[in-house]
Amino acid sequence: MKSKIISFLIIIPLILVFIIFYKGLNKSNFYEPESKIENIPVFTAITFFQKEKINSQNIFDKDKFYLLNIWASWCVPCKDEHPLLVNLSKNDKLEIIGLNYKDNFKNAEKFLNELGNPYKKILIDRDGTNAIEWGAFGVPETFLVFENKIVKKFIGPLNFKSIEEIEEIIK
């Protein structure tokens, strides 16, 4: 009787551990922050070409969709998504705003000259603090904004599927 109880006590935890690991290892370990920000953050930034100080309230002020794209010339996935952004910039229901993340002006300018400039405005985020205000943790990251609210967030480079999604929303 006693040995039965003991073997039972050993087997049950083993099964439990197996189930936990089986479930846990199947789960993707890519963590997406459960951000609670709905409204876009208020911040001031310097514009890329004119080097003027601008307040975020003066950027997202029109009654249209905005796409804030965090990018950098040193970021390889940004190069992949750039042609898609250039294509998307032809849509006049949408204004694409760039946030140049921890970049060097010369390299960023070269990047735009080579691959095209899809951005209506580009803001500079030299130290990465503006990206944090948006709840971003890297480049590239893209936010679809409407009426000062974040409608959709894309972590990582945009692909054909995400472009379709954006076009579906702004239709």
Partner 1 sequence: MKIIKIFITILILLYFSPLKADEDRLQNNITKNLRCLICQGQSVYDSDSEFAISLKLVVRNKIKEGLSEDQIYNFLSEKYGEWILYDPKFNKNTYFLWFLPLLIFLFGGAIIFKKLIKIKR
Residue from 39, 38, 107, 24 nearest 72 by CA:
107
Does residue 137 bind partner 1 (CB under 8 A)?
yes
Q: List the x/- string, 82-111, binding to partner 1 by CB under 8 A.
A: --------------------x---------
User: Of the listed pieces 2-10, 33-41, 112-120, 158-166, which binds partner 1 according to CB under 8 A?
Assistant: 33-41
User: Of the listed pieces 46-54, 109-117, 123-131, 161-169, which binds partner 1 according to CB under 8 A?
Assistant: 123-131
CB of 171 to partner 1, least distance (A): 30
For partner 1, the closer CB: 104 or 129: 129
| Cα-trace Rg, the chain | 22
For partner 1, the closer CB: 98 or 118: 98
CB 123 within 8 Å of CB 99: yes
CB 154 within 8 Å of CB 67: no
Phi, psi of 63 (to 5 degrees): -85, 65
Does residue 35 bind partner 1 (CB under 8 A)?
yes
Residue from 96, 94, 170, 98 nearest 140 by CA:
98
Does residue 45 bind partner 1 (CB under 8 A)?
no
